[in-house]
Structure 1
Amino acid sequence: MRMKCFAVAVLLGLLSLGRSAPLSSCESLLKPIQVTTDQVLGRWLYLGSSSNVPGSRSVAHLMTSVWLDGTAVPQSNILTFIQNQKIYGQCSSLTYNVTFENSAMIIEQPFYLKDIFLVTDCPDCLVVNEEVISGKDTFNSLLLFSRSRSVSPPVLEMFKRQAECLKMPSPIMLDPNSAEGICLLLQMVGKWMYIAETTGYPLSELLGEALIRSIWMNVMAGSQNNTLNIYQAQNM
């Protein structure tokens, strides 16, 4: 009888340890990490998310691609993001500014939004824990971004575990092999350096070899669908 009681006590102790392990794991998975401006700039592909924003899951099922391109405003803590998405076969884009401070991105108007970054085993990924306050309502989202269109199964499993720790629905992930792909027009957005060309234009070789030192273009998505704004600079 004494041995049986001892065995039950050991079993209860192990069960107790088992229950406390997820809490400890969640604490480490949800602990905010420090990031620099350089780590969040550039192009990021949206891979998936979990959210309690009303209607977000319906929209997520209609999305085939989303990507961001972030640049810094000189001599300030303001970052500018161009966001491009393809929803139900239609491409669209928007541009917005965020304040970057203390490893967080903040928007204060027309609603309050704060993004903090969580741990990930992917060196080219960002896991974003987002809070949105609109009036008296507060909503939360967990988002995964990467420099590439897919991540390893362990990284994805860790992201799903983070959603569980936040008591959020299972993330909806984009299909990395979707035939839809990202909007071809919007793939041109970004800074491009002129390398070389061939043309039948008179005196083109003379101009190219003797006068042109450098040319670059900055391509930005226009406010209208299917339009681009192109800024070209050259040193001659």
Structure 2
Amino acid sequence: MAKQTVARSVSRWIIKGLLIFVIGSIVWVGLYRFLPPPVTVTMLANAVDGRGITKDWMSLDAMSPNMARAAIAAEDGNFCSHFGFDFKAMQKAFKSNLQGERRIRGGSTISQQTAKNAFLWQNGGYLRKGLEAWFTLLIELMWPKHRIMEVYLNIAETGLGTYGANAGSMRYFKHDASRLSRAEAARIAAVLPLPKKRAAIAPTGFTRRYGDKIARRIGQVQRYGLDSCLK
């Protein structure tokens, strides 16, 4: 009898905890639908390491459209057509990694990266991946694609202690993101996967080649309307 009472008590606490988490996360995502995230776990972690936090929010409408197109070209060509997850890209990345390619590929969409950057932390195993999936579903349900891209381009790390395309543009090119050329936007997009190891100004090696490739793809994104959900 005592064991049954304890089991029921534990079950009630688990259910209450889940309800609090679900309601809390929905409210949190709802707030960020309209308010810029003031700070993220990544920003705080880097600040503790002494890198500081440099950011300057800019609306997506104020940014050069080259920046969003560069992000789509580099990170997520199906951004406007998927519902948060690109299973074909995941499968392709998995096969590529199994074949032992030198550069490890990821299959995360911009929506997944936005969920991780805004609400979670960078490292972690299955727990973080599970939470990332949950928050990805929430932002896809509660935010338009325009907002997902806007948040992504304002909180993604674009350099050591630098967050967002606008702050990155100021750091590398000495002008704001409204004036980004194709080549400049492509260089920032090339930095996004490894901002601690790459620089957008005077890039060399892989970063330079990758930036040039993204710059060429920007025209295709525009030509084929792959950014149509942002207009």
TM over 0.5: no
Query: Which is richer in strand?
Result: 1
Query: Which is richer in helix?
Result: 2
The alignment's TM-score, normalised by the length of structure 1, stands at 0.28
Structure with greater Cα Rg: 1
The alignment's TM-score, normalised by the length of structure 2, stands at 0.29
Ranked by relative contact order (alpha carbons within 8 Å, sequence separation 6 or more), the top structure is 2
